[in-house]
């Protein structure tokens, strides 16, 4: 069956580029489309425009075999796909400027560019994260604009950056919102090999499928903010959130994952998704049901402010003119993504208080420098730390755990460390003469 249906993917960001590459990997003929000609040029040469472990290999293999092609022309999508095609929409739905709601302009543009060309029956499948009700509106618009009978489906994506390929080829579950048996069958065909591997395939109405995604991300964000709220209490009570989290994890009802206390969540999804979800609930007249997400957001942002306070305290009450090294700029390790990165927000806030900030990140330097060109950037943790009065460990890249605290004490002006991620061996750092402050941990070593 593979190869019978053709697949197109509109939008080649993290989600779309990975999805297109993985669909080709499953054996389909795939055409990816994006309005960004530079990005398409890179993808067409079989390389990823962003850092994502394993993606370059999948892209290179499938571009070389000819199964995976790219274009900037939306008119090509319909002709390429033909009858029975599955057209995935993977455009981004960022937070609107000036409000919490999701900005659907790229999705609407994608639908309007594709629809008039759809002269043969096919299925359009949204994967973008959207406010509930969007899929039904897309279905109406397709009925209005497309010459042929077009089925609409929604198939939310749960991939994590840094694990995008594995999460796409081995998902926990496939969630599919459909209005018709034809659309369901098309998605069963697309994911046939994953279904053979036993991946659960859940079909539901369009609205519920949209909600699964925002509910999942809200739950994950709530878990992180829960443990970070406990960190705030620990700080006030001189208790240790790391030990607290360890004990909580042993209760299987609570679970082991997403309870890492630290600088909180960032990235292109969790922050804007909880805001967009709360905004949509207000439109639906049930704002109170999700009012707690405002607290989840607030707890998350307070961690950033707390990290700055700890750095200021270590500098004797003022950051003015102080040299500060920030280790890590990406919103999490194994990513070069700095969108809503807590680490960069802290770096920026430190600079805002007059500190001379030098940032080091193994992958995200270029992206970070684009966002915050007024900061200094270094090529190594050591270079960033040179003559620093305080070092802020902000993104938990594994290489920072390998740093020898005795050696590092020789790099800096004053051995002061703020550990924002709780992944460093604080006893070893203190043993090497460092004064250490860490989020959610007691002020002094026990």
Any idea which residues carry the catalytic annotation?
269
- Ramachandran region of residue 251, left (φ > 0), alpha (ψ -120 to 50) or beta? beta
φ and ψ of 417, to 5 deg: -130, 135
d(C-alpha 129, C-alpha 274), whole Å: 11
Q: Does 267 bind ligand UDX (CB under 6 A)?
A: yes
Q: What is the DSSP letter of 100?
A: S
Is 271 annotated to bind ligand?
Answer: no
Query: Could you say whether residue 230 binds ligand UDX (CB under 6 A)?
Result: no
Per CB under 6 A, contacts with ligand UDX among 163-182 are none
By CB under 6 A, tell whether 266 contacts ligand UDX: yes
Stretch that binds ligand UDX, among 105-113, 265-273, 317-325, 377-385 (CB under 6 A): 265-273
Residue 184 gets which letter from DSSP? H
Distance CA 292, CA 245 (A): 22
Q: What does residue 231 show for φ and ψ, rounded to 5 degrees?
A: -60, -40
Least Cβ distance, residue 14 to ligand UDX (angstroms) = 8
Distance in Å, CB of 57 to ligand UDX, minimum: 20
Check if the beta carbon of residue 367 is closer than 8 Å to that of residue 331: no
Is residue 226 a contact point for ligand UDX (CB under 6 A)? no
What whole-number distance in Å separates Cα of residue 325 and Cα of residue 343? 12
- Interaction of residue 334 with ligand UDX, rule CB under 6 A: no
Provide the strand spans (E) within 339-389.
356-360, 376-377
Distance CA 443, CA 446 (A): 9
- Whether residue 263 is annotated as binding a ligand: the answer is no
Query: CA-CA distances (angstroms) from residue 421 to 75, 104, 277, 308, 439?
Result: 47, 34, 27, 14, 7
Residue 226, annotated ligand binder? no
C-beta of 259: minimal distance to ligand UDX in Å?
Answer: 5
Asked if 125 and 154 count as a contact pair (C-beta separation under 8 A), the reply is: yes
Residue for token pair 């922050």 = 271
Single out the segment in contact with ligand UDX by CB under 6 A; choices: 79-87, 217-225, 314-322, 407-415.
Answer: 217-225
426 annotated as ligand-binding: no
Please tell me whether 161 is known to bind a ligand.
Answer: yes
**Nearest distance from C-beta of residue 358 to ligand UDX, angstroms:** 22
Token pair 């359009």 in the structure block, residue: 124
- Describe the crossing of helices 270-283 and 206-237 by its angle, rounded to 10 degrees: 120
376 binds ligand UDX per the rule CB under 6 A = no
Is residue 39 marked as binding?
yes
**What does 144-193 look like in DSSP terms, one character per residue?**
HH-SS-EEEEE----PPTTSHHHHHHS-S-EEEEESSHHHHHHHHHHTHH
Among the residue ranges 25-33, 257-265, 356-364, 384-392, the one whose residues contact ligand UDX (CB under 6 A): 257-265
Among 36, 94, 148, 160, binds ligand UDX (CB under 6 A): 160
Q: Pick out residues in 119-158 that bind ligand UDX (CB under 6 A).
A: 157-158
Residue 260 labeled ligand binder:
yes
Other residues' Cβ atoms within 10 Å of the Cβ of residue 28? 22
The residue behind tokens 């707690």 is 292
Between strands 150-154 and 174-178, the pairing is antiparallel
Residue 379 to residue 408: CA distance in whole angstroms: 16
Nearer to ligand UDX, 220 or 290 (CB): 220
Choice from 92, 95, 152, 217 touching ligand UDX (CB under 6 A): 217
**Residue 160 vs 294, nearer CB to ligand UDX:** 160
Q: Which of 46, 262, 405, 415 binds ligand UDX (CB under 6 A)?
A: 262
For ligand UDX, the closer of residues 224 and 364 by Cβ is: 224
User: Is the separation of the CB atoms in 145 and 112 below 8 Å?
Assistant: yes
Residue 260 interacting with ligand UDX (CB under 6 A)? yes
Q: Is 91 a residue that touches ligand UDX (CB under 6 A)?
A: no
Q: Which of 85, 114, 153, 259 binds ligand UDX (CB under 6 A)?
A: 259
Residue numbering of the annotated binding site for NAD(+): 34, 39, 93, 129, 161, 272, 339
Residues near ligand UDX, by CB under 6 A: 157-161, 217, 220, 224, 258-260, 262, 264-267, 269-270, 331-332
Residue numbering of the annotated binding site for substrate: 158-161, 213, 258-262, 266, 332
């Amino acid at each position: 069956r593979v190869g019978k249906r053709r697949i197109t993917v509109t939008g080649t960001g993290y989600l779309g580029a990975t999805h297109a590459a993985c669909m080709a990997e499953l054996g389909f003929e795939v055409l990816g489309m994006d309005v960004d000609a530079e990005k398409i040029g890179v993808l067409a040469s079989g390389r990823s425009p962003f850092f994502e472990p394993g993606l370059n290999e999948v892209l290179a293999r499938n571009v070389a075999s000819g199964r995976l092609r790219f274009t900037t022309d939306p008119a090509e999508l319909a002709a390429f796909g033909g009858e029975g095609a599955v057209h995935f929409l993977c455009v981004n739905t960022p937070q609107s400027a000036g409000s919490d709601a999701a900005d659907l302009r790229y999705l609407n543009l994608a639908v309007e560019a594709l629809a008039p060309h759809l002269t043969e029956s096919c299925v359009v499948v949204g994967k973008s994260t959207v406010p509930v009700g969007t899929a039904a509106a897309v279905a109406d618009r397709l009925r209005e604009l497309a010459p042929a009978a077009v089925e609409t489906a929604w198939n939310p994506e749960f991939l994590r950056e840094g694990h995008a390929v594995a999460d796409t080829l081995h998902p926990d579950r496939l969630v599919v919102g459909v209005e018709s048996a034809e659309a369901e069958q098309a998605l069963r065909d697309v994911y046939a090999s994953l279904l053979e591997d036993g991946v659960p395939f859940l079909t539901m109405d369009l609205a519920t499928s949209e909600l699964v995604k925002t509910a999942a991300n809200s739950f994950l964000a709530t878990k992180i903010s829960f443990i970070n709220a406990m960190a705030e209490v620990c700080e006030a009570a001189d208790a240790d959130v790391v030990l607290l989290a360890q004990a909580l994890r042993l209760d299987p009802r609570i679970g082991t994952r997403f309870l890492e206390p630290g600088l909180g969540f960032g990235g292109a999804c969790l922050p804007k998704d909880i805001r967009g979800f709360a905004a949509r609930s207000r439109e639906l007249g049930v704002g109170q049901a999700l009012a707690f997400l405002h607290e989840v957001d607030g707890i998350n942002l307070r961690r950033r402010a707390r990290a700055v306070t700890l750095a200021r305290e270590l500098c004797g009450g003022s950051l003015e003119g102080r040299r500060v090294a920030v280790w890590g700029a990406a919103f999490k390790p194994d990513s070069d993504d700095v969108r809503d990165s807590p680490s960069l927000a802290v770096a920026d806030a430190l600079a805002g208080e007059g500190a001379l900030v030098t940032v080091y990140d193994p992958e995200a330097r270029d992206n970070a420098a684009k966002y915050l060109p007024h900061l200094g950037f270094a090529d190594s943790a050591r270079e960033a730390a040179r003559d620093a009065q305080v070092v802020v460990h902000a993104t938990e890249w594994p290489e920072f755990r390998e740093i020898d605290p005795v050696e590092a004490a020789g790099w800096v002006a004053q051995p002061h460390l703020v550990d924002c991620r709780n992944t460093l061996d604080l006893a070893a750092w203190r043993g090497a003469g460092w004064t250490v402050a860490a989020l959610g941990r007691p002020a002094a070593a026990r």
